[in-house]
Amino acid sequence: MVMFGIDLVLLIPALMISATPVLLAAIGEAVVEKSGVLNLGVEGMMITGAVIGFIIAVNTQIPIYGFICAAFAGALLSVIFAILTQYMMSNQVATGLGLTMVGLGLSALIGKPYEGIKSPTLTKLEIPILSDIPILGPMIFSHDAIVYFSIFIIASVAFIIKKTRIGLILRAVGENQDAAHALGYKVIRIRFIAIMFGGATAGIGGAYISLARVPQWTEGMTAGAGWIALALVVFASWKPWRVLVGAYLFGGITVLQLNLQAIGVAIPVEILSMSPYLVTIVVLVGISLFGHQTAPGSLARPFHASQ
């Protein structure tokens, strides 16, 4: 299956790998925003996850340990954000930006001795029978565990938000914090947990960059993936399955531009490299033109149960 000199059997798996980090970060942020909190620190949590995951995986030679520790590291960093915004009522925009800066500084600091090392690679899980299907098998059914895990997370979040009581409470807190409080829900506590979930998935997403997509550690290697995840949440109108669609679309563009660079198309490299960011802007404009934005009602509003 070759189109325009690009092999689709190679393109689709590359697309899924390229999309997985932003997918994980974006689904976490979607949950955080559903609870009425805007955490702009995704980039910082991702890069912290990337460096911690890398260090643990290199030292233990077991990538899965890296991912687990990256999840903890991301969640731990998000706790700072949660304490500041939920208990000390700090400005969410400023705190999120601060989290990004701290994450970038911290990761550069602790990652220094690990530059230039190669990480152990993830083994591919060949799903029995399905992976033997010609074309479709190698395309979709022979990936590493994290790719499947990310899809599983999307499905679970979609199910929990739509069908369960927990999801209903989460949405209530995000849509109208005062009403939720009046009904007796612990607004702060629920948001705290949501923020930590967002931190954990961002951490795993970051680790996927340093352990699978690249796989190496370099300073600032997330290169705006966290911000693109934030844009994806808006693109997806806070709906989990649309996060998946958006992430794969974005992954497709990234892989396509990398492929075009490799083939040596007569487009300057810089234009190709900036295309994912330009596309993100165009998509944001398109969404406000054609989609209906339904941001959670209490998004980014601080809550203090005083009255």
Q: Binding residues for other proteins, per CB under 8 A? A: 40, 80, 84, 88-91, 93-95, 97-98, 101-102, 104-106, 108-109, 112, 219, 223-224, 227-228, 230-231, 234, 268, 270-271, 273-274, 277-278, 280-281, 284-285, 288-289, 293, 304, 306
Report in angstroms how near the CB of residue 112 gets to other proteins at its nearest: 6
Which tokens go with 188? Answer: 């702060």
Residue closer to other proteins by CB (options 99, 207) is: 99
Do 195 and 37 contact (CB within 8 A), yes or no?
Answer: yes
Q: Is 117 exposed, middle or buried (0-12, 13-18, 19+ CB in 10 A)?
A: exposed
Other residues' Cβ atoms within 10 Å of the Cβ of residue 23: 28
Report in angstroms how near the CB of residue 18 gets to other proteins at its nearest: 16
Residue closer to other proteins by CB (options 89, 182) is: 89
Report in angstroms how near the CB of residue 124 gets to other proteins at its nearest: 31
Report in angstroms how near the CB of residue 104 gets to other proteins at its nearest: 7
Residue closer to other proteins by CB (options 105, 297) is: 105
Residue closer to other proteins by CB (options 10, 79) is: 79
CA angle, corner 82, sides to 76 and 86, nearest 5?
A: 160
Report in angstroms how near the CB of residue 274 gets to other proteins at its nearest: 4
Long-range pairs for 284-291: beta carbons < 8 A, 24 or more residues apart: 284/231, 284/234, 284/235, 287/234, 287/235, 287/237, 291/237
Report in angstroms how near the CB of residue 284 gets to other proteins at its nearest: 5
Report in angstroms how near the CB of residue 43 gets to other proteins at its nearest: 9
> Can you spell out the DSSP letters for 102-122?
HHHHHHHHHHGGGTTPBPPPP
Residue closer to other proteins by CB (options 208, 227) is: 227
Amino acid at 6: I
The residue with tokens 């810089």 is: 270
Pick from 188, 226, 184: which is nearest to 41 by CA? 226
Residue 207 DSSP SS3: helix
